[in-house]
């Protein structure tokens, strides 16, 4: 498709190009613009219908948006901002450099600018920061017929019309209803009679990760956001919740792999940027690992007189790391999806301890048999077996407790993932290993 | 809430209980039933209104569903299946033991059973297996008014009415339209005139992960599923796509932490089950790690004459593991979200190699300075530095290439994550380390 568009541009077949763009989906157009040269992107963008262009714009990558705005004239920016939903405008502004923000706001009409500024006040990552104010509000004494009239009148520029919010004169939320319910009932009925009154709401300050969890749980298409006085201030739609969900999963994957998370995609991040995102944790973990090294040098006599001891270091380290990764991953995920809560800490730990016992015995036995066959050395098999037991117990305990401790301290539990735990478990297991070996072999 | 319900049951205040349940959301009820005793759960379930009970049922955990069905009478099962959407019924049946499946199908009416059996034929993980057949179909020569009449007539039992599908006499999909478009236009217009004709469709055999990606990209509320002849066979709704997305993320997290993925939640998985899910990979990786141990024993002379060499083993192993984890995580995620494709392999590798060079130099320099200060041994600093460079290059290359190779072989790329790569990188880096050391120190 991209090739065809470039061909049409170079052949100056603009009419054909316009026709093609008209038939394409907005997401597909934005994806192609992300890959185009700046001039071509601006050229194509200008060919788009007005109502399509804002939609395309809101789906482009941040770097493309930035370049495009630099290339657009003031009146063109005005056209885009007038069509953008307020939540998309807020997204845009919070990611642009200051100089462009100024230009964007100058070319936004006053009432929308006011709303944008209000939404910008909500803390990053809060429900308020991802909500939109474009929703349909109804009154309970409207008839269903009146409700449809209102939907027809105000619906065009709303992000969703399918869930309608019933408010009283003080803008307090008293109920919700859906277009489905309205369509399937008698048009003479009152909204107040058919609306659902036990409404599940989101407070403006709730973390957006929790918002995504609520959408996953309740399967709503939109949820109302209220302030402390239960006044309706906005709504969050499921597509935004879905974006949050995939962003949060991405972020967790990156943090758990000791990467500073970034908003940009893999290919749109430069080599230097990638290096910067990865080097800090690598340095921290590398220097921490020297503690384990220092411990080893303390037992120089032990492994000088029994060099075979060194051969088991990699196996002990890897097993500890893997056991810790298993537990911490499940706990971090459980915390992220809301299945595990802080109050479950003892329940989790008790579970992990029992799992650790079973896993530890199993690993120790298999390894013991292997060592006995390979070296005919029962004491060595015993030393490794006991060390394995301890290593598994410690790593699974840390994998359970550290993420929950991080959560308690309002840190991201994902920090306490495999790389971090491995570093601690390494030191512990090496210490236990050599101490047991020294006693068992009397060295 | 759970406490209040238990209290009402033990006080036999059933009227109050029924009122409370009526006000509660279906997801909240199902969550409480998941935590109740079998008898209480069955008792509460019987108190629910008919149209609510099927919804509650479809949201419960598999283990709760199983126990509940065992406790329900045939006519009660009949009531539930008559209310279940076909896609939820298919979910249920594919997860129940054979004996219950038989009982469920016996208590499902013939036409629904036919649809269920048809959907069960689609491969697991395909779009066909998660679609539903309850959608609203329109004809292009209907007026908008006629369309609303049809929606009112057939809408009640459809999973969504907001996206309507326009088909011809051969059930071929010719367009889509939304209730929003229908509401906002003149009721005398023809559906054919307002429908969108360039429809984005999903083929029945597409992988469900790809389906979730498409929803994430296009922000549709529902997407049509068509067979090879472009005949409309079903739709997928965004809530199901969201479920797929969170399931797939969970599965990837687990596989990447060397856990056999399971469908059940953390607390609903027994200690024995958890152990079983974790032990296989631990054993495989533990035994693989002995290869590294064997390599070390080959260099017994080297570290016997220069014991300090042993002290750097943990640092080299951890750094290699962490570098590999960073690259493999980004590549695995990129493949999962569709950003990275197999054809990008050289582009990715070239990027990773350049990152590896920068990261490697940085780590080698910092570590070199530390060693020089601590031991005043420039040769040692050099040996470690060169080994680090190689380790980083190898681990980042493997982290990039192995997941893509797995994808090429139709394996899950997530298998090629940190634990697996660590094991390989360990062996390589130890081999390089001792070889360089032997040459540099002439031992």
ipTM of this predicted structure: 0.84
- Whether residue A294 and residue B311 make contact (CB cut-off 8 A), yes or no, is yes
Segment B259-286 shows an average pLDDT of 90
- Whether residue B282 and residue A148 make contact (CB cut-off 8 A), yes or no, is no
Q: Give the pLDDT confidence of B71-125 residue by residue, as tens digits.
A: 889 988 998 888 888 888 888 888 888 888 889 998 898 888 888 888 888 988 8
Of A279, A325, A326, Cβ closest to residue B359: A279
Name the residue of chain A whose CA is nearest to B180's CA.
A161
- Whether residue A315 and residue B290 make contact (CB cut-off 8 A), yes or no, is yes
The shortest C-alpha distance from A223 to chain B (Å) reads 13
β partners of residue B223: B236
Dihedral, A158, A161, A163, A168 alpha carbons, nearest 10: 60
Q: Which residues of A touch B24 (CB under 8 A)?
A: 198
- Whether residue A296 and residue B274 make contact (CB cut-off 8 A), yes or no, is no
A443 in B contact zone (CB under 8 Å): no
B37 in A contact zone (CB under 8 Å): no
- Whether residue B296 and residue A303 make contact (CB cut-off 8 A), yes or no, is no
Q: Are B130 and B245 in contact (CB under 8 A)?
A: no
**What is the reported pLDDT for B166?**
95
Q: pLDDT band for A97, please (50, 70, 90 cuts).
A: confident
Q: Give the pLDDT confidence of A278-328 residue by residue, as tens digits.
A: 999 999 999 999 899 999 999 998 998 899 999 999 999 999 999 999 999
> CB under 8 Å to B435, separation ≥6 — which residues?
none
Question: What's phi and psi for B164, nearest 5 deg?
Answer: -115, 145
3-state secondary structure B293-336: HHHHHHCHHHHHHCCHHHHCHHHHHHHHHHHHHHHHHHHHHHHH
**What is the reported pLDDT for A419?**
87
The rounded distance, in Å, linking the Cα atoms of B35 and A344 is 14
- Whether residue A286 and residue B245 make contact (CB cut-off 8 A), yes or no, is no
**What is the reported pLDDT for A8?**
87
The rounded distance, in Å, linking the Cα atoms of A84 and A58 is 7
Please state, in angstroms and as integers, the Cα–Cα distance from residue B403 to each residue in B38, B335, B349, B357, B408, following that order. Answer: 44, 9, 12, 21, 9
**What is the reported pLDDT for A50?**
81
Q: Give the pLDDT confidence of A17-74 residue by residue, as tens digits.
A: 988 888 889 999 998 998 888 888 999 999 998 878 888 998 998 888 988 998 889 9
- Whether residue A329 and residue B294 make contact (CB cut-off 8 A), yes or no, is no
pLDDT over 90 (residue B232): yes
**What is the reported pLDDT for A119?**
87
The shortest C-alpha distance from B314 to chain A (Å) reads 6
pLDDT over 90 (residue A177): yes
**What is the reported pLDDT for B284?**
92
Q: Give the pLDDT confidence of A228-254 residue by residue, as tens digits.
A: 888 999 999 999 999 999 889 999 999
Name the residue of chain A whose CA is nearest to B200's CA.
A25
What percent of chain B lies above the pLDDT cut of 70?
100
A365 in B contact zone (CB under 8 Å): no
With 0-12 CB in 10 A as exposed, 13-18 as middle and 19+ as buried, what is B75? exposed
Question: What's phi and psi for A202, nearest 5 deg?
Answer: -120, 135
For chain B, the 3-state helix, strand and coil shares in percent, each to the nearest 5, are 70, 10, 20
B121 SS3 class: coil
Q: pLDDT band for B61, please (50, 70, 90 cuts).
A: confident
Region for A189 from its dihedrals, namely left if φ exceeds 0, alpha if ψ lies in -120 to 50, beta otherwise: beta
Q: pLDDT band for B309, please (50, 70, 90 cuts).
A: very high
Longest dimension (CA), chain A: 94
Q: pLDDT band for A346, please (50, 70, 90 cuts).
A: very high
Q: pLDDT band for B241, please (50, 70, 90 cuts).
A: very high
Q: How many CB atoms lie within 10 A of CB A273?
A: 14
A313 in B contact zone (CB under 8 Å): yes
A305 in B contact zone (CB under 8 Å): no
Q: pLDDT band for B262, please (50, 70, 90 cuts).
A: confident
- Whether residue B256 and residue A329 make contact (CB cut-off 8 A), yes or no, is yes
pLDDT over 90 (residue B173): yes
Q: Which residues of A touch B345 (CB under 8 A)?
A: none
Dihedral, A12, A16, A17, A19 alpha carbons, nearest 10: 160
- Whether residue B318 and residue A423 make contact (CB cut-off 8 A), yes or no, is yes
**What is the reported pLDDT for A363?**
96
**What is the reported pLDDT for B274?**
94
Q: pLDDT band for B9, please (50, 70, 90 cuts).
A: confident
Q: Which residues of B touch A338 (CB under 8 A)?
A: none
A377 in B contact zone (CB under 8 Å): no
pLDDT over 90 (residue B206): yes
The shortest C-alpha distance from A383 to chain B (Å) reads 16
Segment A160-181 shows an average pLDDT of 93
With a CB-CB cutoff of 8 Å, which residues 379-408 of chain A face chain B? none
**What is the reported pLDDT for A225?**
95
With a CB-CB cutoff of 8 Å, which residues 52-111 of chain A face chain B? none
pLDDT over 90 (residue B347): yes
Segment A332-346 shows an average pLDDT of 91
Q: How many CB atoms lie within 10 A of CB B290?
A: 18
Q: Could you tell me whether strands B136-138 and B163-167 are parallel, antiparallel, or unpaired per DSSP bridges?
A: parallel
Segment A74-84 shows an average pLDDT of 88
Residue B343 per-residue DSSP state: G
B292 in A contact zone (CB under 8 Å): yes
β partners of residue B236: B223
Q: pLDDT band for A172, please (50, 70, 90 cuts).
A: very high
With 0-12 CB in 10 A as exposed, 13-18 as middle and 19+ as buried, what is A102? exposed
The shortest C-alpha distance from B321 to chain A (Å) reads 8
Q: Which long-range contacts (CB under 8 A, 24 or more apart) does A45-50 make?
A: A45/A72, A46/A76, A47/A14, A47/A17, A47/A18, A47/A21, A48/A21, A49/A22, A50/A79, A50/A83
Q: pLDDT band for B273, please (50, 70, 90 cuts).
A: very high
The rounded distance, in Å, linking the Cα atoms of B441 and B443 is 6
Q: Which tokens is A47 given?
A: 């060919």
Q: If you average pLDDT over each of B35-39, B243-247, B364-368, which comes out highest? A: B364-368
Dihedral, A158, A159, A161, A164 alpha carbons, nearest 10: -90
The rounded distance, in Å, linking the Cα atoms of A151 and A147 is 6
Question: Residue A327's closest CA among A340, A343, A308?
Answer: A340
Q: Which residues of B touch A323 (CB under 8 A)?
A: 278, 282
Least confident range from A329-338, B87-96, B180-189, B405-414: namely B87-96
Angle between helical axes of B26-35 and B38-47 (0-180°, round to 10): 160
Q: How many CB atoms lie within 10 A of CB A179?
A: 23
Q: Which residues of B touch A304 (CB under 8 A)?
A: 304, 307
With a CB-CB cutoff of 8 Å, which residues 106-135 of chain A face chain B? none
**What is the reported pLDDT for B394?**
96
The shortest C-alpha distance from A289 to chain B (Å) reads 5
Block residue for tokens 């959608």? B135
Q: Which tokens is A303 given?
A: 């492994």
Please state, in angstroms and as integers, the Cα–Cα distance from residue B392 to each residue in A266, B406, B426, following that order. Answer: 19, 21, 11
- Whether residue B314 and residue A426 make contact (CB cut-off 8 A), yes or no, is yes
**What is the reported pLDDT for A62?**
86
B319 in A contact zone (CB under 8 Å): yes
Give chain A's mean pLDDT: 91
This prediction's pTM = 0.85
Please state, in angstroms and as integers, the Cα–Cα distance from residue B345 to each residue in A1, B179, B326, B407, following that order. Answer: 22, 44, 17, 11
Q: Give the pLDDT confidence of B387-417 residue by residue, as tens digits.
A: 999 999 999 999 999 999 999 999 999 988 8
- Whether residue A300 and residue B317 make contact (CB cut-off 8 A), yes or no, is no
The rounded distance, in Å, linking the Cα atoms of A50 and A65 is 16
Q: pLDDT band for A149, please (50, 70, 90 cuts).
A: very high
Q: Which tokens is B303 given?
A: 């570290």
Q: Give the pLDDT confidence of B132-158 residue by residue, as tens digits.
A: 888 999 999 999 999 999 999 998 888
Handedness of CA A107, A237, A42, A119 (dihedral sign): positive
B200 in A contact zone (CB under 8 Å): yes
Segment B192-216 shows an average pLDDT of 92
B177 SS3 class: strand
Q: Which tokens is A263 given?
A: 């908003």
Segment A86-115 shows an average pLDDT of 88
Name the residue of chain B whose CA is nearest to A182's CA.
B152
Q: pLDDT band for B49, please (50, 70, 90 cuts).
A: confident
Q: How many CB atoms lie within 10 A of CB A415?
A: 16
B442 SS3 class: coil
B347 in A contact zone (CB under 8 Å): yes
**What is the reported pLDDT for A9?**
86
Question: Residue A57's closest CA among A20, A112, A96?
Answer: A96
Longest dimension (CA), chain B: 94
Q: Could you tell me whether strands A222-226 and A232-237 are parallel, antiparallel, or unpaired per DSSP bridges?
A: antiparallel
Question: Residue A361's closest CA among B262, B283, B366?
Answer: B283
Name the residue of chain B whose CA is nearest to A295's CA.
B311
Q: Are B47 and B16 in contact (CB under 8 A)?
A: no
- Whether residue B330 and residue A266 make contact (CB cut-off 8 A), yes or no, is yes
Q: Could you tell me whether strands B222-226 and A163-167 are parallel, antiparallel, or unpaired per DSSP bridges?
A: unpaired
A218 in B contact zone (CB under 8 Å): yes
């Amino acid at each position: 498709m991209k090739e065809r568009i470039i061909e049409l541009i170079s052949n100056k077949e603009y009419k054909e190009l316009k026709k093609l763009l008209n038939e394409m989906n907005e997401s597909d157009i934005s994806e192609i613009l992300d890959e185009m040269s700046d001039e071509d992107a601006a050229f194509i963008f200008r060919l788009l219908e007005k109502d399509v262009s804002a939609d395309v714009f809101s789906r482009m990558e941040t770097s493309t948006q930035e370049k495009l705005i630099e290339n657009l004239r003031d009146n063109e920016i005005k056209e885009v901002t007038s069509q953008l939903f307020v939540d998309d405008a807020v997204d845009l502004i919070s990611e642009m450099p200051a100089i462009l923000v100024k230009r964007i706001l100058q070319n936004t009409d006053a009432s929308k600018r006011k709303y944008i500024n209000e939404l910008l006040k909500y803390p990053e990552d809060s429900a308020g920061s991802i909500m939109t104010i474009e929703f349909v509000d109804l009154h309970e004494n409207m008839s269903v017929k009146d409700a449809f009239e209102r939907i027809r009148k105000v619906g065009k520029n709303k992000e969703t019309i399918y869930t309608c919010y019933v408010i009283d004169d003080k803008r307090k939320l008293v109920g919700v209803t859906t277009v489905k319910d309205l369509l399937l009932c008698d048009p003479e009925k009152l909204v107040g009679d058919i609306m659902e009154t036990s409404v599940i709401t989101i407070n403006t300050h709730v973390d957006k990760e929790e918002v995504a969890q609520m959408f996953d749980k309740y399967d709503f298409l939109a949820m109302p956001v209220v302030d402390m006085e239960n006044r309706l201030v906005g709504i969050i739609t499921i597509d935004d919740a879905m974006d949050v969900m995939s962003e949060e999963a991405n972020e967790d994957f990156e943090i758990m792999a000791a990467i500073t998370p970034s908003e940009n995609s893999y290919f749109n991040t430069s080599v230097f940027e990638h290096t910067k995102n990865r080097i800090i944790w690598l340095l921290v973990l590398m220097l921490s690992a020297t503690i384990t090294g220092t411990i080893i040098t303390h037992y120089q006599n032990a492994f000088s007189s029994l060099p075979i001891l060194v051969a088991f270091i990699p196996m002990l380290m890897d097993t500890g790391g893997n056991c810790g990764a298993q537990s911490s991953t499940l706990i971090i995920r459980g915390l992220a999806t809301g299945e595990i809560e802080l109050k479950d800490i003892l329940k989790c730990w008790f579970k992990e301890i029992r799992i650790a016992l079973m896993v530890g015995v199993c690993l120790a036995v298999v390894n013991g048999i292997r060592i006995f066959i390979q070296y005919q050395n029962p004491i060595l098999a015993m030393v490794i077996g006991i060390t394995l037991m301890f290593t598994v117990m410690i790593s699974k305990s840390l994998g359970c407790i550290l993420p929950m401790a991080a959560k308690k301290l309002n840190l991201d539990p994902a920090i306490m993932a495999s790389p971090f735990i491995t570093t601690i478990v390494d030191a512990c297991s090496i210490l236990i290993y050599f101490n047991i070996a020294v006693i068992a072999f009397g060295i």
